Amino acid sequence: MERIIKLCSEQYKTASLDLVEKVFTEHENADEGKLVRRLVEEIRSKKYYVPELELIMVDEIDEIIGYAMFSRFHLEGKYSDELLLLSPVAVKTKLQRQHISKELIEYGLKKAKELGYKAVLVEGNPANYHPRGFRRAADYGIYAGENLHLPHIDCLMAQELVPGGLEHIHGIVDYGVYESLSPSEAEQNP
């Protein structure tokens, strides 16, 4: 199967949302699928969106088989010109374990470095990200805030794109900037 990495141009915007929603629905549940779709839509509409780092992989018939988004991110209002968040990453379920996410992530890390970013954060399974060079974020002085519900401290990871890229970057990760990740009034006050 031929695999090509492309920028997620306008013609792929809806199909990429459909893929993300389907993958997260299949692996978690329908609510999670909808949530991650809303998150992508929200990131695209905010100042943190980096069009050069919204990536897709297509097959030989130009069907999207993988997706990865890197967006600018800040810690306590700082570092948004240096720091990226990798989220979400999705691969068509029947094609997982074929290095599609690996290729997308590695391409994105290279591109992010070329664009001048110094580091990338990601939340997920360490077994999936350690082979890509990510390490526990806490080792760099970056910690999960109250609105991150991690199963373990090791699930928040960071990677330097340049030597010493995280030496001066530290603080608390807070997803409060994303409305789609913030509990609604109804959930807060049942």
Work out the widest C-alpha separation in the chain, in whole angstroms. 50
Interior/surface letters 20-54, b for 16+ CB within 10 angstroms, e for the rest = bbebbbeeeeeeebebbbbbbebbbeeebebeebb
The confidence score (pLDDT) of residue 70 equals 98
Predicted confidence at residue 149, as pLDDT, reads 83
pLDDT score, position 80? 93
Of 133, 140, 136, give the one whose Cα is nearest residue 168.
Answer: 140
pLDDT at 190: 41
Q: What is the mean pLDDT of residues 173-177?
A: 89
Find the CATH number of the domain harbouring 144.
Answer: 3.40.630.30
Q: What pLDDT digit, counting tens, does each position of 74-111 carry?
A: 999 999 999 999 999 999 999 998 899 999 999 999 99
State pLDDT tens for residues 106-156.
Answer: 999 999 999 999 999 999 999 989 999 999 999 999 999 988 888 899 999
Range of the domain at 105: 4-188
Domain total in the chain: 1
User: Predicted confidence band at 183 (pLDDT cuts at 50, 70, 90)?
Assistant: low
The Cα-based distances of 157 to 13, 121, 144 in angstroms read 28, 6, 10
Scan for tokens 């990871």, then name that residue: 157
pTM of the shown model: 0.92
